[in-house]
Amino acid sequence: MPSSHIPVITIDGPTASGKGTVAAKVAERLGFHLLDSGALYRLTALSSMRAGVSLIDEHAVAQLAEALPARFANGDIFLGEEEVGAVIRAEEVGNNASKIAALPAVRQALYALQLAFRKAPGLVADGRDMGTVIFPNAKLKVFLTASVEARAERRYKQLIDKGISANMEGLLADLQARDERDTHRTVAPLVPAEGAYILDTSDMTVDVAVEQVLHWYSLL
């Protein structure tokens, strides 16, 4: 089957909107592959931090992104042979990922890598520019949103559940700063894709959000 005929569902949205969890559950229900594009940027940020590469050295960060030994298997995220799923969820890594995501050369370096995830029987891709840049012809485009307060509460609970100390005021400030960067960057700013369904999950459970996405897909 030509890759252009393989169905794609894109789920974009700001940090902690629930898009990753919703995308994973939708992919599981449909038997589709999953692309966590945010993880690629977090992996690039982690690689840069470990290599001592300055995050403002666009060329050097892009070189790391091009050769990124990223692998996803059974819900785990690997950098080379190391499972780093928990490591890349640290707030410092997330903030640095948001910074390098604004670098055009880094985005270009990861472009082909993301396209390669489109495999039969289908793909659910979550991120910030899946529907606007990477898969503009996706069969279904969804933009998940939620109030910054609701997102801060979710992130706080996630971190506490993992035994990571967290400060609500600090998380709120970080999310607001990240939103500002993501929505105002010159390359692929965070905006709903043309024709995207908007889903506000502020007062919605994950299961309800998943059912809504599956319902929209069933109508196509």
170 is in an annotated binding site: no
Tokens of 194: 């043309």
Q: Any binding-site annotation on 15?
A: yes
85 is in an annotated binding site: no
Let me know: does 37 contact 138? Beta carbons within 8 Å. no
Q: How many CB atoms sit inside 10 A of residue 17's CB?
A: 26
Backbone angles phi, psi at 125, to 5 degrees: -115, 125
DSSP code, position 17: S
Round to whole Å and give the CA distance between 203 and 130: 24
**14 appears as a binding residue in the annotation:** yes
Largest Cα–Cα separation, the chain: 50
17 annotated ligand-binding residue: yes
Binding-site residues sit at: 13-21
Residues in the annotated binding site for ATP: 13-21
